[in-house]
Each structure stands twice: as C-alpha cells, then as structure tokens.
Amino acid sequence: MPLLLVAVLLATTSAAAGASTRLVHVQVQPGPVVAVRLDFSAPVTPIVRSLPASDGMPERIYLDLPATTLGEETPRITSGAGALLRVRTGQFDAGTARVVLDLSLQQPYVVRTAAHSLTIELTDPTPMPMPTPALAPPPRPPEAPPARTQEVRRALVVVDAGHGGRDPGATGIDGVVEKTVTLALAKLLAERLPARLPVDVLLTRRDDAYVPIDERVAFATDATLFISLHANASLDPRTRGIEVFFGGGGPAQVASTGDPPQRFGLAIIDALTARLADSRTLVRPGGYGVLARNSVPSVLLEIGYLTNAEDAARIRDAAYQALVTEAVVDAVDAFLNERVES
Ligand SMILES: [Zn+2]
C-alpha cells in the first residue's frame, strides 16, 4: 500500500513539474464540419470551457491543457474557417498551455480525443434535413431561418498596450508609469472599437504581463490593423505633445492611393487634431520592432510626455483618455471605409 501511494505521487508530480507533453501541431479542417485538430507528444486531458462575447472579445471556446507546453514550431495564431475566426495558442502558466477558438457566433461543439490528438468539431446549429423520426426536431415556424450574415469575416484590430511586467517603460511626474497608462487606454479601446464599428479586437496583454515583441507581432498575423500604445519621456520637462509613428504593411501592400500604413497614420493625426485641437503631432515611419516586423498597417501612438506636467495630468484624466480613444476609433473607421471604397 505505501509503495502504491508513492508511485501515484511520483507520477502526478512528474507530470505537473516536468510539463513533458508538447502541443506540436494545430490544424484547422475547413469542412463540411469545421474542426480544429491538435496533436500532442503524449495523451492530454483538456479542460474545456466556452465564453460569451464580452469586453471587446468575440465568442470563444477555451481549452486548458494541463502539464503541456507549446513547441517552438507551434503556431501562435492559425486562420479559421466558417464561423471559426482563428485559433490562438499560448502558455497560460509554466505548466498549462491554452488554446482559444475565436468564433463569430456561438457554436455547439464536440471534443473528440484520440491517443495523441484532440479534435474540436463545431457542429452546425442548423438542423439537418435528414428525417429521423425518433430524433426529429420540433416543427419549425414558417419564417425563414435567420440570415447568417454574422459569418462574414470582420476586420480584426490588434491593440497593443506597450511594455508590461518587468518592462515598465517610461516613468514620469509623480511616479506615473507608462505600462499602466497604456494598459488602461488599451482596455478602453477594446471596449469602444467593437461598440462603434463592426470589428473584433485582440489585446496583446490584458494585465501587467511581460510580452516579447515577437509575440505581440504574432497577434497581427490575421489582423487588419495593429495599434501600439505608448507614452513618452524627455529630459526636457517642456517637451510635450502626441506623436504618431507608422510602419508595417510590407512593400506588397503599397497601393496607388498611398501606402496603407501612412494612410492609417494620417487618419489618426486627422482624428486627433479634430478631437484635441491643441495637440502637437508628428507622423513619420518608425523603426520600432512592433512596426518594422509587422505585416499589417501599424501605428505606434505616443499619447504624450509623462515628464511634462500638463501632459502627465491630462494623460491621467478620464475625459482626455476618452477623447483619445474616440479619436482612434474615428481613424480606424476612416481607414476601413476608405479601403473598402478603393
Ligand atoms: Zn513605450
């Protein structure tokens, strides 16, 4: 009996501490039944939950995989099909990998487990026309089924709260820290963008976490726009004002109407000028990692100088934060509509 207990304990602790199982492959199977297949180096028992759309995030299904880590080669974002917008993977904590299925609308699903794989099938909510007397659905009302227009792929905007965790960014007057300011503004944007526009939003961080630049950029793989939020600092306390940098997009996306990153940068300047007449703004290509390595039109917005008394005060003012947020939403709106027309 004592021997058996020891054996059980050893098995449990080695699985938890060693995190020996790797998630090696993510595959989206487009149809007729959309499914996501995950391959592992060893069998895994997932914890599966679904969450309704909220707080700027779409409808989603979460799988937490205990004692599992992501492989080097595991994609962080995989494009979806049908009602599946995309599949995201991440290391939730040292021992738990998390897989998130973002959905354009609520979907019933089944999880099938095999020896070294796991498949999540999104079962179509429309009843099959096949007559099965015993399981026949109740008679439907005569009206046509609801139009499934929501399945149209919506624009995806990645909102990046600059810095975080062990990287505080700039420190300003009264100890105000950049990473805190950028997170507050990112959360406001995540709320206001989908409230005003038909867009989905992904936040690169939702708390005081350190997220490496490559992971931030990976969020944009499937995105339409990338917005990185920052606050500035200067040795000269008189230096103040908003600055906008643009980048990303890649040479292939340069259109005759002007290059998309620049157009997005200018749209932000226009919107900020319209909402905050006094702001000093600049726009120029930025050499920052999140811009240079980004594949989609990207802006880096420095919302003011934390080292300037006036800027530091207004950056912490809720009314000012709301104005900046609405201006960025105006700019996304202008950019997306202009693009549809061209
Ligand atoms: Zn910064």
Distance 160 CA to ligand 1 centre (A): 11
Are the C-beta atoms of residues 193 and 201 closer than 8 Å to each other?
yes
**Spacing, Cα 170 to ligand 1 middle (Å):** 7
Encode pLDDT of 124-172 as tens digits: 665 444 444 445 555 555 555 454 444 556 899 999 999 999 999 999 9
Residue 34 Cα to ligand 1 midpoint, Å, equals 40
Give me the pLDDT at residue 212, please.
Answer: 93
- Mean pLDDT score, 320-324: 95
Distance 272 CA to ligand 1 centre (A): 19
pLDDT the model gives residue 150: 46
> Which of the 8 DSSP states describes residue 237?
T
| All residues at 6 or more sequence positions from 209 whose CB lies less than 8 Å from its CB, including other chains | 164, 165
Q: How far is the CA of 178 from the centre of ligand 1 (A)?
A: 7
pLDDT for position 107:
80
Q: Calculate mean pLDDT across residues 201-214.
A: 94
Q: How far is the CA of 328 from the centre of ligand 1 (A)?
A: 18
307 alpha carbon – ligand 1 mean position (Å): 13
Expressed in angstroms and rounded, the spacing between residue 147 Cα and the centre of ligand 1 is: 44
Give the whole-angstrom CA distance, residue 325 versus residue 317: 12
- Predicted TM-score of the model (pTM): 0.60
Question: Ligand 1: distance of its center to the CA of 141 in Å?
Answer: 56
12-30 burial string, b = 16+ CB within 10 Å, else e?
eeebeeebebbbbebebee
Mean pLDDT throughout 170-180?
93
Alpha carbon of 137 to ligand 1 centroid (Å): 56
Q: Is the peptide bond before 75 cis (omega within 30 degrees of 0)?
A: no
Q: Any idea which residue has 């099909």 for tokens?
A: 81
Which pLDDT band holds residue 280 (cuts at 50, 70, 90)? low
What is the reported pLDDT for 165?
96
Measure Cα distances from 145 to 90, 108, 137, 259 in Å. Answer: 37, 17, 14, 42
> For the chain, where are the alpha helices, taking DSSP H only?
2-18, 178-196, 213-218, 260-275, 289-292, 309-315, 318-341
Say how many Å lie between the CA of residue 169 and the centre of ligand 1. 5
Residue of 192, 227, 223, 248 lying closest to 102 (CA atoms): 223
Could you tell me which residue, 122 or 95, shows the higher pLDDT? Answer: 122
CB crowding 102-134: b at 16 or more within 10 Å, else e: bbbeebebeeeeeeebbbbbbeeeeeeeeeeee
Distance separating alpha carbons of residues 158 and 31, to the nearest angstrom: 27
- For residue range 36-84, what is the model confidence (pLDDT) as tens digits? 999 888 888 887 777 777 766 778 888 888 888 887 788 888 888 888 8
Query: What is the distance in A from the centroid of ligand 1 to the CA of 324?
Result: 17
Instruction: Give 136 Cα–ligand 1 centroid separation in angstroms.
Output: 59
Distance 168 CA to ligand 1 centre (A): 9
Residue 91 CA to ligand 1 center (angstroms) comes to: 24
pLDDT tens column, 101-120: 888 887 878 888 787 888 88
Average pLDDT over residues 317-330: 95
pLDDT score for 19: 57
When the pLDDT of each residue in the chain is averaged and rounded to a whole number, the result is: 81
Q: What is the pLDDT of residue 132?
A: 45
Q: How far does residue 297's CA lie from ligand 1's centre (Å)?
A: 19
Residue among 219, 158, 230, 197 nearest 334 (CA): 197
How many A from CA of 43 to the centre of ligand 1? 42
Measured in Å, residue 303 CA sits from the centre of ligand 1 at 10
> How far apart are alpha carbons 236 and 234 in whole angstroms?
5
Question: Please, which pLDDT band fits residue 194 given cuts at 50, 70 and 90?
Answer: very high
CA of 306 to the centre of ligand 1 (A): 11
Residue 36 CA to ligand 1 centre (angstroms): 37
Instruction: Give the whole-angstrom CA distance, residue 204 versus residue 56.
Output: 13
Looking up tokens 């028992």 gives 45
Centre of ligand 1 from the C-alpha of residue 288, in Å: 10
